[in-house]
Chains A and B, each alone.
Chain A
Amino acid sequence: DAGVIQSPRHEVTEMGQEVTLRCKPISGHNSLFWYRQTMMRGLELLIYFNNNVPIDDSGMPEDRFSAKMPNASFSTLKIQPSEPRDSAVYFCASSSSPGTGEQYFGPGTRLTVT
């Protein structure tokens, strides 16, 4: 089975531009997580969906960040407008059950905002 798929793998954009990151979770998984990883702050949970519904978005840095999950097989994380401090690796993870603690991560999207 394919794992979690993320696109693009690398994104370079200029400050002020809109950025959209995409994620396809593992088929059959009903929980989806977006994380951000930086050297300074490590790996941080941004938002968690269960059955396509956002459950916890307390980790979303500010209103410039938004996430959607229109169906069980697709999610987006959008940054508008982007800023240099948003530069990071963004990971999507999915799980068959939020209670298991077993999350399966995608390869990540490396975002650079200049």
Chain B
Amino acid sequence: DAKTTQPPSMDCAEGRAANLPCNHSTISGNEYVYWYRQIHSQGPQYIIHGLKNNETNEMASLIITEDRKSSTLILPHATLRDTAVYYCIVRVAGSGGSNYKLTFGKGTLLTVNP
């Protein structure tokens, strides 16, 4: 799987949009971008994933650049409960080979301030 690079920490004011960047310059054409987060003392939580089109769900939006070398996770109106470590992961979709693996890096600690 391609490797990802994320800033170690970011701050965001409550109510503002949080934009979390991720670089994945070696991503392959069949690799998806996944985002998970881990709130303190809880298990990781799936947020969203995408291949090349922008995606949106009830939690967040995922913007992937046209060359797919980077992406941004957007939390439109951050709350204090969004304070967590956010992980950007790239992996091949499909169940063949070792495609079941999720490789978690160090992620970005997002702190939402009141």
Question: Which A residues are closer than 8 A to B by beta carbons?
Answer: 4, 31, 33, 42-43, 45, 48, 50, 55-56, 91, 93, 95, 97-108
Contact = CB atoms under 8 A, between A and B. Distances in A.
Interface residues of B, number: 23
A33 B102 CA distance: 10
Nearest to B105: A42
DSSP class of A's interface residues: helix, strand, loop or mixed? Answer: strand
B43 A105 contact: yes
Given A43-B104, A91-B44, A101 B95 contact: no
Given A31-B100, A91-B44, A98-B95, 15 more contacts: A42-B104, A42-B105, A43-B44, A43-B104, A48-B100, A56-B100, A93-B43, A93-B44, A99-B99, A101-B32, A101-B93, A102-B46, A105-B43, A105-B45, A107-B43
Interface of B: 32, 34, 41-46, 49, 89, 91, 93-96, 98-102, 104-106
Contacts of B44: 43, 91, 93, 103, 105
A91 B100 CA distance: 16
